[in-house]
């Protein structure tokens, strides 16, 4: 195994645009449904709703967190509605499945979506049955990444040792707290984000995972 990961016993994966590429148009469907929900809930037009969606994501971590904090909204009907989407845009990925299944130790999901939504995504990607735990936002009392309380809640629930874990995320800001806690951090995205909290960059997740397990790996800290 590549030395930077030899200590890892728990592999923590984000879900959206981490376990499938941004080119698969799943999350745009969710964003569109969020906009429609905000329009109906607050009686605003589409442009206003989209501006609010983006501001709440920036300020609170998720649109849901903004709606809950500023409008005391019940999260469950919102989550059920915005996750009612077409999962057929996702394609199975046998190479990614093989790479994840080869990882030694525990493999878990930590998402700002819900557990049922995560299971639907994993089924569509052919990644079901690989996971020791799936932690959704409901398990963090609806507090999203990147808030420290979300990591505290999920890591306590899971029982993982941050010093022996690695986290894979498409959102660079969501790796700041894990890095501070001692996790090996991997930014999964076409382009590497700046910042000392980004320890590794994986433009191709399956290839990166194969690399860290292979002798003579080229997966290096950045």
Q: Does a structural domain hold residue 16?
A: yes
Residues 159 and 191 in one domain: yes
Strand-pair partners of 133: 108
Pairing of strands 165-169, 10-13: parallel
Residues 133 and 71 in one domain: no
Residues 34 and 131 in one domain: no
Residue 15: give the domain boundaries.
3-21+90-213
Report the alpha-carbon distance of residue 188 to residue 201 in Å, rounded. Answer: 6
We report the CATH number of the domain holding residue 52 as 1.10.150.450
Which backbone phi and psi does 211 adopt, to 5 degrees?
-65, -40
pLDDT tens per residue across all 222 residues of the chain = 899 999 999 999 999 999 999 999 998 999 999 999 999 999 999 999 999 999 998 898 889 988 988 998 999 999 999 999 999 999 999 999 999 999 999 999 999 999 999 999 999 999 999 999 999 999 999 999 999 999 999 999 999 999 999 999 999 999 999 999 999 999 999 999 999 999 999 999 999 999 999 855 444 433
Q: Is 172 exposed, middle or buried (0-12, 13-18, 19+ CB in 10 A)?
A: buried
Q: Does a structural domain hold residue 220?
A: no
We report the CATH number of the domain holding residue 195 as 3.40.50.1000
Residues 123 and 76 in one domain: no
Residues 17 and 62 in one domain: no
CB 111 within 8 A of CB 136: yes
Residues 9 and 54 in one domain: no
Residues 7 and 114 in one domain: yes
**DSSP secondary structure code for residue 144 in this structure:** P
Number of domains in the chain: 2
């Amino acid at each position: 195994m590549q030395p930077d990961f030899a200590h890892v016993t728990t592999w923590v994966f984000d879900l959206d645009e981490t376990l499938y590429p941004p080119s698969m148009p799943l999350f745009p469907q969710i964003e569109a449904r969020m906009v429609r929900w905000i329009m109906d809930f607050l009686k605003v037009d589409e442009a206003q709703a989209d501006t609010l969606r983006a501001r709440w994501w920036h300020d609170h971590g998720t649109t849901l967190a903004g709606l809950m904090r500023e409008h005391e909204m019940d999260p469950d009907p919102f989550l059920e509605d915005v996750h009612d989407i077409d999962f057929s845009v996702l394609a199975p990925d046998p190479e990614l499945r093989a790479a994840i299944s080869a990882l030694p130790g525990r493999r878990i999901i930590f998402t700002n979506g819900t557990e049922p939504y995560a299971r639907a995504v994993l089924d569509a990607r052919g990644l079901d049955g690989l996971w020791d735990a799936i932690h959704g936002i409901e398990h963090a009392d609806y507090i999203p990444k990147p808030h420290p309380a979300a990591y505290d809640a999920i890591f306590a629930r899971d029982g993982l040792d941050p010093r022996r874990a690695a986290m894979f995320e498409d959102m660079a800001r969501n790796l700041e707290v894990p890095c501070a806690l001692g996790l090996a951090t991997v930014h999964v995205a076409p382009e590497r984000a700046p910042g000392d909290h980004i320890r590794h960059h994986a433009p191709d997740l399956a290839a990166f995972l194969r690399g860290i397990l292979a002798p003579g790996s080229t997966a290096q800290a950045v």
